[in-house]
Amino acid sequence: MSSESLTAKAIRRSLLAAAATSVAFTGSAFAEEEKVERIEVTGSRIKQVDMETSSPVTVLSAADIALTGEKTVADVLNNSSINAFGSWRGMSGYGSGASATSSINMRGLGSQATLVLLDGRRMPGTSSSSGTTADTSQIPTAIVERIEILRDGASAVYGSDAVAGVINIITKKEFDGVQLDYSTEMPDVEGGESSRFSLSAGYNTDKGNITFTYEYYDTASVMDKDIWDLNNPAYNAYSLFSSVPNGSYHDGNGWVNYSNSEMCEQTENVVDRTDGNNVGQCRYSYGAVTKLFGDMTRNSFMTNFSYSLTDDIQFRGRGSASLSETETRYAGTPVSTNYPVMSADNPFNPVGEDMTVYMRSVQIGERDTLTETNNYDFLGGLVGYTDVGNGIDWEINAQVSGSTTNSFNYNLINDNIIQSEIDTGKYDIFNYSGMEYDEWNQQMTALYSAAAHTGVYQGKFDSTQIDGLASTLLYEGDDVSVAMVVGAEYEMINFKQTSDPESAAGIISGGSGGDDVNAERDRTAAYTEFQVGLPGNVDISAAIRYEKYDQSGTLTGAEGQVTNSSTFDAVVPKLGVSWRPIDELLIRASYGDSFRAPNMGEMFSSQSLSFETAHDVTYCNENPDDDYCGTGQQHKTWFGGNPNLEAEEGNSLTLGAVWNVTDAWSVELSYYDITYDNKIEAISVTDILRDELLNGGSDFVTRGADGKIEYIESGYVNMASVETSGFDFATAYNFETNYGDFNLKLDMTHVLEFVEQANAESDKIDSAGVQDYPQWRGNFAAAWYYNDWNAAWTTVYIGSQSGQYWRDLGYDYIIDTPNYFKHNLQVGYTHDWNGTITVGVNNVFDEEAPTWYNFPDYRDVNTGLYDVLGRTYYLRINQKF
């Protein structure tokens, strides 16, 4: 006699429920006089009992999250093994509000290829990403019930952006009472202290429930000088743009550098450097004054509620808001958007030749940036059950969300004013006349004060969505059952970002500007999904979705304002099969196509200016001793949108098995293979310079008479393809002893290949195992529980990487990266007053993050992969009432 599969049972029980309820708010229903838990598993819109389906899902419970000792959801996700190559963490020096956000990058395919859900619905995106990337740091950890990570593509189920996978953050719903949480964290390094306070309250009745959570989070800045070894004699991150100006001129035979090097030793953070063939120059140590991570304060609010209007209809809702302020700092402004020139006839010109001046406005202060980010999200809907046929579960929802980013960038410089002031002949910027230092410093302060500018950026994103779905049991026989769900969505999105006119005009140094966007898009989608239970414990799932994007935006160029419109649509399927030959073993496979339309910023942003750090291999292979060839050299880069972008397309295949060896031991092994075509990428300056070297030239690079780069032109393009594959392995074992209960967990990811092809003519490059692309990532956790005590040891592992690929291209200073292990320890106690106290240490052995170079340098660690704060102590207090 064949037994019915768990999935088939789940379908029957959920669809024959006498009263329709939503798992997000109730969690259980009665069917056939049997009470069963009804859960909506990430990867399917059909509720079921079995957490294991044809799609691989990693579940991080609230207890798992607590064991990590991490302070934010973003940090927890960043340590996940499927976050193969690390994720973005906000750092000083990045515009458009990016310095205040964090994101997740599954399989290394980019944050735009990972869909983040909050209780099964799209989480609002940030304005700095045109609304396409969610800020994972804004979710209050106190309200997180669990995090489900779907490890395959799911565009057919959830829509565009679910190319690499889905992060579904599930919040607590039926909390009853009051809970207070406080935590504080203190790294060994100077700065980085953080504190968090949250208040959660919930109330349940026979008719429904409501929960409310408020969280306050504050973290202090970390200065670069406290992380990087600036005092090492080999440290070489010094800039030609100095608070003691440098100059260069052509004497008829070649280019000559000039500086009043006698002033170097009198000026803070300036050193006398010699470039090998010219007089000494005053070089500025910018790393001595910058913040790696800024000061940040965030207030977050979230509420969930449900109310039964009738026995069969429930009203539900959710609301959240997040308000944050981040203060970052970059070094005083280098006047570099338009280099000032001191004419030969200027009375203070020390050489009598037209001279380009390299100066930095340190005298009026550093570039401090205040970024204010406000996000909101409100959902309201009806969930019901209609007793027609086998019964119909249905829901109708309306959701409005938005994000506003205001950024104020202080102490920038207006290049036109600097040039006009130098032309007046009033400023002896090289101290040619031999003034006292204080007098010269006051003169420079007056010059920069006359040209000071505050850059202003604003980004605003808002979305309105209406959606609905209905599900039912189509057929049920002795060995066969068929269930289905159908749904539709309509979303209207507006996005606008602007910078101040002066920055947009390209006359301001020290900031970014000009990447203005004024666009809108409408998204229409319809989908259906089937679950089929077959004899022999075989289940088949199939989903198909049609999605269409109509978007338009205004571009400003030489011909004035031009409005561009584009339409992108696609039909994407997904098919999954699972089989239980025995109750303890599940074998599964899934295949799905994916689709992502370019976002509004990628298509419609006007050309902007930035300064990108990269090594100029073409020039420096012939001039290795030139200070210009330092690793921190920045290049003027013009960057803009591309209205001719095509939609990204991809597909993913997963194969695997889950084996419950015993009641206490489970093992999972999965293989994944993802192809990502037409991938939209912002061409990096490093890639442009690499292609220039390999091809003997580049149309994107403009060089001056001295052979050095004057500027680079970049932007968004459709890459030919990215192909990646690998294995995920996970195992868990629980056992009881006279000395307590023990839980052991291990998860590992091995990347077999990560092959990129820039265009159809270029070579394919496999980056797996190359520096910044580790082939191995993993986590181990061992937890112990005994009466009122508990303890845990966790380990984060990142595999070694090779620098040989870059050394073959001429980057001789790139080194191999060793294996990295970070060990964490915590101990907790549950006291008699319904509360807990936990103390812990992250990075117990103070493991240093591996560096890129064979010498110390500024920000020479991948902070998206590694922890640079060293050993960190923390305390958490929880009290329930």
If you count them, how many residues does the chain have? 881
Residue 690 phi/psi, 5° resolution?
-65, -45
Predicted confidence at residue 514, as pLDDT, reads 64
Distance CA 554, CA 569 (A): 21
CB-based burial label for 276 (10 Å; 0-12, 13-18, 19+): exposed
Predicted confidence at residue 67, as pLDDT, reads 85
Task: Label the pairing between strands 538-557 and 608-613.
Answer: unpaired
Q: Please count the other Cβ atoms lying within 10 Å of the Cβ belonging to residue 347.
A: 9
Mean pLDDT of 206-218: 93
Mean pLDDT of 433-437: 93
Mean pLDDT of 99-120: 83
Domain residue ranges of the chain, discontinuous segments joined by + = 6-230+292-334+367-419+443-606+641-679+719-880
Res 468 pLDDT > 70:
yes
Residue 559 phi/psi, 5° resolution?
-95, 15
Q: Please count the other Cβ atoms lying within 10 Å of the Cβ belonging to residue 173.
A: 24
Phi-psi region of 177 (alpha: psi -120 to 50; beta: other; left: phi over 0): left
The SS3 of residue 353 is: coil
Query: Taking all residues of the chain, what is their mean pLDDT, rounded to a whole number?
Result: 86
Higher pLDDT among residues 620 and 451, named by residue = 451
Q: For the stretch 675-711, what's the b/e string if a residue is b when 16 or more beta carbons lie within 10 angstroms of its beta carbon? A: bbbbbbbebebbbbbbbbbeeeebebbebeeeebbee
Of 283, 244, 225, 329, the residue nearest 630 (C-alpha):
283
Cβ(230)–Cβ(287) under 8 Å? yes
Residue 283 phi/psi, 5° resolution?
-105, 145
> Per-residue pLDDT tens for 17-51?
322 223 333 233 333 334 444 456 677 777 665 66
pLDDT band at 818 (very low <50, low <70, confident <90, very high): very high
> Per-residue pLDDT tens for 743-781?
999 999 999 999 988 777 778 889 999 999 999 999 999
What is the model's pTM?
A: 0.86
Distance CA 187, CA 873 (A): 6
Res 8 pLDDT > 60:
no
pLDDT band at 614 (very low <50, low <70, confident <90, very high): confident
Phi-psi region of 294 (alpha: psi -120 to 50; beta: other; left: phi over 0): beta
Predicted confidence at residue 197, as pLDDT, reads 94
Least-confidence region, from 44-58, 225-239, 245-259: 44-58
The SS3 of residue 405 is: strand
pLDDT band at 504 (very low <50, low <70, confident <90, very high): confident
Question: What six digits make up the tokens of 353?
Answer: 């030749």
Tell the CATH superfamily of the 6-230+292-334+367-419+443-606+641-679+719-880 domain: TonB-dependent receptor, beta-barrel domain (2.40.170.20)
Distance CA 177, CA 164 (A): 39
> Per-residue pLDDT tens for 829-871?
999 999 999 999 999 999 999 999 999 999 999 988 999 999 9
Predicted confidence at residue 100, as pLDDT, reads 61
Of 142, 138, 136, 145, the residue nearest 114 (C-alpha):
136
Of 521, 524, 520, the residue nearest 466 (C-alpha):
524
> Per-residue pLDDT tens for 728-744?
999 999 999 999 999 99
